[in-house]
Amino acid sequence: MYQKFKGVIAALLTPFRADGSVNVDSIAKLVEHNLAGGVTGFYVGGSTGESMLMTLEERKTVMEAVAEVAKGRATLIGHVGTIHTAHAISLAKVAERCGYDAISAVAPFYYGFSYPAIKGYYDEISASTELPMIIYNFPNSGGFAFTPQYAEEMLKNPKIIGIKHTSADLYTLERFKHLSREIVVYNGFDEMLIAGLTMGADGGIGSTYNVMPKKIVELYNRFQSGDLAGARAKQTEINEIIAVFIKHGVFASEKYMLDRMGIPMGEVRKPFLPLTEEAKADLDKLLPEVVKA
Ligand code: MN9
């Protein structure tokens, strides 16, 4: 079930121009780069896309731009989450109008909302379109952690078809795969993709995929063909790179790498800090390894 949702889904970065505006030309280039690398879908406007630092209009622009180049060639999941329900609904409607395959939302954050409030938020967004909904479980983002019990409750809404699990708690990931109804479960931390797949994930959604799609696809394919040793070796190769990204700032590092590959990505948005010159020098050294399939 849910065949088109399985596999390797890039959490798309958002390219900005020097004046800070969304760089729509680079979105097209970035989509092509990912497709050429073998990714099968895009998760648009999530954490990686710096969506919480963008206006609603900008988020819509990105969603539309991705659909324009990728529709019919990739599975499209539009992240519509924000703590303002009406804003999330307006984004969900854009996703539906643009032909997205699903919407997704992080749980509303900051006020420490109760589980019933959070369930209401999802149900209301999901009722606003015909699209299926994928829960974005990201406990580090400000609080709420879906447990298997909460997830089971959420499944009473038939439009909820999956969970993106951005957490190192892979026991919970495994439990999500064994609720009363089958759902798609995604591994959210790229540095443990093999572990997530081993515990039952149907695929992964990640930011580092933008930079090294071929390596991620190779890990995924090795795992699917039963080559566990090969997949683990690939994970280690990938993690040598991710460790440097984490040290210097993940999104800033990824954007810099893509800049160096000829896709202008611009800076990360404040309050994220730009890369230091030392960080750039470190990343320059890594470039030959990153571009190698
Ligand atoms: O969507 C991303 N999650 C966040 C997934 O950025 C919160 C991951 O791809 C991480 O960026 C990556 C590095 O920690 O695993």
What pTM value is reported for the model?
0.98
* Catalytic (active site) residue 122: no
Q: Is-catalytic flag, 164?
A: yes
Of 43, 121, 122, 136, the active-site residue reads 136
- Counting ligand 1 atoms within 8 A of each CB, the residue from 134, 187, 208 with the most, and so the one to mutate, is 208
Regarding the domain with residue range 3-227, which homologous superfamily does it belong to in the CATH classification? Aldolase class I (3.20.20.70)
- Would you write out the chain's pLDDT as a tens digit for each of its 293 residues? 799 999 999 999 999 999 999 999 999 999 999 999 999 999 999 999 999 999 999 999 999 999 999 999 999 999 999 999 999 999 999 999 999 999 999 999 999 999 999 999 999 999 999 999 999 999 998 779 999 999 999 999 999 999 999 999 999 999 999 999 999 999 999 999 999 999 999 999 999 999 999 999 999 999 999 999 999 999 999 999 999 999 999 999 999 999 999 999 999 999 999 999 999 999 999 999 999 98
Calpha distance 292→241 (Å, rounded):
12
Q: Which residues fall in the annotated binding site for pyruvate?
A: 48, 205
What would the 3-class secondary structure string for 12-75 be? Answer: CCCCECCCCCECHHHHHHHHHHHHHCCCCEEEECCCCCCHHHCCHHHHHHHHHHHHHHHECCEE
- Is the CB of 101 within 6 Å of ligand 1? no
Query: In residues, how long is the chain?
Result: 293
| Of 34, 77, 250, best ligand 1 pocket probe by most atoms within 8 Å of the beta carbon | 250
Q: Which of 164, 215, 234, 255 is catalytic?
A: 164
Domain positions in the chain are 3-227
Q: Extract the tokens encoding 53.
A: 């630092």
Query: Ligand 1 centre from 244 Cα, in Å?
Result: 14
C-alpha distance across the termini of the chain, in Å: 30
Q: Indicate whether residue 206 lines ligand 1 (CB < 6 A).
A: yes
Q: Ligand 1 within 6 A of 190 CB?
A: yes
